[in-house]
């Protein structure tokens, strides 16, 4: 890389792609303020430029048929640089291409079995598991169950070595895992330990004749599973976390990742969907799930807002644990006077403050659904305060924004319906009030005959490429969806329909269709 940087005019094409991918990833990890301060330009324009340059450079390498490890590195970094701005289904598809390229190069088999030198073996391991962990999470965002299709055998690539970067060099005689101590690779090592846990859990479910989706099924042995995870948690603590210094950003990040991941796995085991309604849920179980949800939100908030972790804040949005957020809001709606509500509302406020796209990006059904549930929960809180005679506190900013957003929706909806009734068709009949205005349909295509099916289809279509845009009103995501939220979470005792929430989450990752104006890789 140093030689390439010193001789830009003669840089090989594979290293050119890698350099631009590194630039893109570096920009992705910076905030807009940091980009303006250090580079004198907005983050959005810089990221767009370097991502475009990376795409061109990768195309020049003919990456689809490459056997170059450097080109594969560039592609994997490119996937990470676009994962927050592009539709997960498109990212997942291109990740599948990268996995096939890696398999074609034999990265799924350990380099030691192939007789490769120790240094190359370690590089291959790190690339392979970085790619596979990325593929695992992207698949999950597209509706694939956790722990599905992740298996290892005797020939599979081994896990990355727990060694400092300066210990890795070409020509090194051997490759050995370091002792149980902190190294530059501590974050990678902990991620791999968690991935091993996922693989082991998936194998256990299959041996029991279950599928990964049945992790939290009613009747599962939660107590025994808790005990097995306690052993794994102890392993993480003794092997890695006890050596971490929370005053060091990377160490604090590693501690948060490990503990948040373990809390979320426990949440899945005790998932509230195991119970048909609140009345059937044992009090101890209900409190345990509430405590886990609060811990998850707290740790996620710390990752995004702690000044020490500013350089890692970019990592958090991709790993938002929506089920924990939904459970907290639903509990606040059904039991607004439950213990710990002030802390819970502070965490909800922090979640919205750290993730403004949850309000601004109305193309995603999950954002609309969570916003509606949040407003219902806050209305319950206001009712309890009014009943007790407590003076209401000033409305939080996110509540004001969510209410204003829905007020705009109602105004636009009334205006469109009023206009549709006033318009006359060629034979004198009025148009159907259910027909959507022309601007909500792709240009150049005729209106449907006014059928609900046609309107439902077109209301979900959005023009543009695969990059998520920001919408300031609700016109872009389809108005019918917001109307459907009126019946969400109205009963204080009925259980939440988790299957419906799962479908909204999956739809949130497929709402931007493929654009016929650009090639597939051009969109990525």
Read out DSSP for 375-444?
A: HHHHHHHHHHHHHHTPPPPPPPHHHHHHHHHHHHHHHHHHHHHHHHHH-B-TTSPBPPTTPPPGGGS-TT
Between 215 and 306, the higher pLDDT residue: 306
Q: pLDDT-based confidence at 369, cuts 50/70/90? A: very high
pLDDT over threshold 70, residue 39:
yes
Whether the CB-CB separation of 340 and 347 falls below 8 Å is answered with no
Question: What pTM, to 2 d.p., does this model score?
Answer: 0.80
Tell me the percentage of the chain whose pLDDT exceeds 70. 77
Computed over every residue of the chain, the mean pLDDT equals: 80
> What is the predicted pLDDT for the residue at 215?
59
Q: How many CB atoms lie under 10 A from the CB of residue 495? A: 18
According to the model, what pLDDT value does residue 449 have?
A: 40
Residue 200's SS3 state is: helix
Higher-confidence residue of 515 and 211: namely: 211
- Lowest-confidence pick of 239-253, 300-314, 461-475: 461-475
Q: Is the pLDDT of residue 445 over 60?
A: no
Higher pLDDT, 475 or 121: 121
> What is the rounded average pLDDT of the residues 63-88?
93
pLDDT of residue 86: 85
pLDDT score for 469? 40
Least confident of 154-158, 213-217, 505-509: 213-217
Q: What is the pLDDT of residue 87?
A: 81
The model's confidence at residue 472, banded by pLDDT at 50, 70 and 90, is very low
* pLDDT at position 485: 56
pLDDT of residue 138 exceeding 50, the answer is yes
Read off the pLDDT band of 348 (50, 70, 90): very high
Judge contact between 100 and 131, C-beta under 8 A. Answer: no
Specify the pLDDT at position 183: 85
Q: Which two tokens stand for residue 185?
A: 């690779």
More confident residue, 288 or 463: 288
Question: What percentage of the chain has pLDDT greater than the value 90?
Answer: 44
Residue 513 pLDDT > 50: no
Task: Give residue 465's pLDDT band: very low, low, confident or very high (50, 70, 90).
Answer: very low
Q: Choose between 271 and 433: higher pLDDT.
A: 271
CA-nearest of 266, 256, 317 to 288 is: 266
pLDDT-derived band of residue 481, with 50, 70 and 90 as boundaries? low
pLDDT of residue 58: 97
- pLDDT at residue 266 above 70? yes
Q: Which residues lie below 8 Å from residue 445, measured CB to CB, with a gap of 6+?
A: none
Q: What is the pLDDT of residue 376?
A: 95
Residue-level pLDDT at 497: 85
Give whole-number Cα distances, 22 to 31, 40, 127, 354, in Å.
16, 19, 14, 26
What secondary structure does DSSP assign to 334-382, as a single string? H-TTSTTHHHHHHHHHHHHHH-THHHH-TTSHHHHHHHHHHHHHHHHHH
**105 C-beta neighbours (distance < 10 Å), count:** 18
Q: How far apart are CA 333 and CA 392, in angstroms?
A: 17
Whether the per-residue pLDDT at 403 is higher than 70: the answer is: yes
**Maximum distance among all Cα pairs of the chain, rounded to whole angstroms:** 87
Who wins on pLDDT, 303 or 518? 303
pLDDT at 117 over 70: yes
Q: Specify the pLDDT at position 180.
A: 63
Q: Which whole number is the average pLDDT over 361-368?
A: 85
In this predicted structure, what is the pLDDT of residue 436? 36
Does the structure show a pLDDT above 70 at 426?
Answer: no
Q: Mean pLDDT, to the nearest integer, of 46-66?
A: 96
For residue 454, give every residue at least 6 positions away whose Cβ sits within 8 Å of its Cβ, in sequence order, or none. Answer: 447, 448
The pLDDT value given to residue 466: 40
């Amino acid at each position: 890389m140093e030689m390439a940087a010193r001789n830009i005019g003669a840089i090989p094409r594979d290293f050119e792609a890698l350099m631009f991918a590194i630039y893109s990833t570096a920009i992705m990890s910076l905030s807009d303020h940091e980009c303006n301060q250090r580079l004198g330009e907005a983050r959005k324009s810089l990221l767009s430029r370097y991502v475009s340059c990376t795409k061109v450079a990768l195309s020049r390498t003919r990456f689809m048929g490459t056997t170059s490890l450097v080109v594969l590195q560039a592609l994997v970094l490119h996937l990470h640089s676009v994962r927050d701005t592009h539709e997960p289904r498109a990212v997942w598809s291109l990740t599948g291409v990268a996995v096939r390229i890696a398999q074609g190069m034999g990265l799924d088999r350990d380099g030691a079995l192939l007789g490769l030198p120790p240094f190359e073996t370690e590089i291959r391991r790190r690339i392979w598991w970085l790619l596979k962990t990325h593929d695992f999470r992207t698949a999950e965002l597209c509706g694939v169950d956790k722990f599905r299709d992740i298996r290892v055998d005797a020939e599979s690539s081994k896990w990355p070595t727990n060694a400092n970067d300066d210990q890795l060099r070409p020509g090194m005689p051997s490759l050995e895992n370091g002792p149980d101590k902190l190294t530059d690779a501590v974050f990678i090592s902990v991620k791999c330990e968690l991935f091993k846990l996922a693989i082991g859990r998936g194998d256990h479910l299959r041996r029991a004749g279950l599928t990964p989706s049945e992790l939290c099924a009613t009747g599962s042995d939660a107590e025994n599973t808790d005990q097995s995870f306690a052993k794994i948690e102890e392993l993480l603590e003794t092997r890695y976390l006890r050596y971490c210094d929370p005053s060091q950003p990377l160490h604090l990040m590693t501690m948060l990742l490990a503990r948040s991941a373990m809390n979320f796995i426990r949440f899945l085991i005790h998932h509230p969907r195991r119970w048909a309604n609140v009345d059937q849920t044992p009090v101890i179980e209900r409190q345990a799930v509430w405590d886990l949800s609060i811990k998850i939100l707290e740790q996620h908030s710390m990752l995004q807002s702690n000044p020490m972790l500013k350089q890692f804040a970019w990592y958090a949005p991709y790993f938002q644990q929506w089920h924990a957020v939904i459970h907290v809001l639903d509990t606040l709606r059904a039991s607004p006077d439950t213990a710990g509500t002030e802390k819970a509302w502070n965490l909800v406020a922090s979640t919205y403050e750290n993730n403004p796209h949850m309000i601004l990006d109305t193309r995603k059904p999950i954002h609309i659904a969570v916003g509606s549930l949040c407003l219902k929960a806050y209305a319950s809180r206001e009712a309890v305060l009014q009943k007790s005679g407590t003076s209401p506190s000033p409305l939080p900013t996110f509540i004001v924004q969510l209410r204003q957003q829905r007020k705009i929706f109602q105004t636009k909806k009334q205006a469109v319906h009023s206009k549709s009734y006033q318009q006359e068709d060629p034979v004198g009949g009025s148009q159907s009030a259910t027909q959507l205005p022309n601007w909500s349909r792709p240009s150049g295509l005729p209106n449907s005959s006014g059928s609900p099916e046609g309107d439902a289809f077109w209301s979900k279509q959005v023009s543009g490429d695969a990059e998520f845009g920001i919408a300031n009103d609700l016109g872009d995501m389809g108005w019918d969806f917001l109307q459907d939220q009126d019946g969400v979470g109205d009963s204080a005792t009925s259980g939440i329909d988790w299957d419906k929430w799962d479908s909204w989450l999956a739809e949130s990752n497929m709402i931007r269709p493929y654009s016929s104006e650009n090639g597939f890789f051009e969109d990525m």
